[in-house]
Amino acid sequence: MAFLERLFGRKDEAASLYRAVVERARAAHWYEAGDVADTIDGRFDMIAAVLSIVLLRIEAEPGAESFGVALAERFVDDMDPQLREIGIGDIVVGKHVGKMMSMLGGRLGAYRQGLAAGSLDPALLRNLYRDQHPGDAALAHVRGSLMSLHAALAKTELDALKAGQLP
């Protein structure tokens, strides 16, 4: 029983931040100025991009690993019913959720690498735009917005993030 209480309590700890991530990822500017496809795949990709930037911030915080895990678990909790809603059956929903987690992990690595290299463009083109160049202005908009979020997150206290406050 204590394990389940810790598990569900940990997920609850990340609920506010996850809601803020989804809200940020659904902002119209990504889909209008950033030319991200306003489709199921595009929305998934945008949530994964914003979530990755937030997870990288949490990753940089000593001792915050369990909070990062809780945030990722919230992502899984959100994806399961979304898949069911679009008609994915019970038998294969777990496989699809596993694939989405793998995709999130790949994106997390790509954005980590891009930040370290000083350019998110390759990761954005591959993961957000699915290898279809959106045009220089759209790419610059998304790059600039994610880089601004990354810079602002670096100055944001973990307690503020836990409260669901994205800068």
* Domain of residue 22, CATH code: 1.10.357
Tell me, what's the pLDDT at 10? 53
Going 46 to 148 to 11 to 60, the CA torsion angle's sign is positive
Tell me, what's the pLDDT at 11? 53
Ramachandran assignment for 118, one of left (phi > 0), alpha (psi -120 to 50 degrees), beta (any other): left
Q: What's the CA gap between 52 and 24, in Å, rounded? A: 13
Supply the range of the domain harboring residue 44.
2-162
- The label of the residue with tokens 């496989």 reads 95
Tell me, what's the pLDDT at 40? 83
Report, as an integer, the average pLDDT of 91-117: 77
Stretch (H or E) spanning 122: helix 121-123
| Structural domain includes residue 167 | no
DSSP for 66-110 reads HHHHHHHHHHHHHHHHHHHHTT--HHHHHHHHHHHHHHHHHHHHH
What predicted TM-score, i.e. pTM, was given to this entire model? 0.85
| Structural domain includes residue 68 | yes
Report, as an integer, the average pLDDT of 127-148: 97
**Mean pLDDT estimate for the chain:** 86
| Structural domain includes residue 150 | yes
Phi, psi of 155, rounded to the nearest 5 degrees? -100, 0
Report, as an integer, the average pLDDT of 28-52: 94
pLDDT band at 77 (very low <50, low <70, confident <90, very high): confident
pLDDT band at 66 (very low <50, low <70, confident <90, very high): very high
| Structural domain includes residue 91 | yes
Q: Is 131 in a helix, a strand, or coil?
A: coil
Please say whether the beta carbons of 63 and 162 come within 8 A. Answer: no
| Structural domain includes residue 43 | yes
Q: What's the CA gap between 158 and 147, in Å, rounded? A: 19
Number of domains in the chain: 1
Please state, in angstroms and as integers, the Cα–Cα distance from residue 95 to each residue in 57, 76, 98, 125, following that order.
Answer: 28, 12, 5, 26
For the cut 90, the answer to whether the pLDDT of residue 97 exceeds it is no
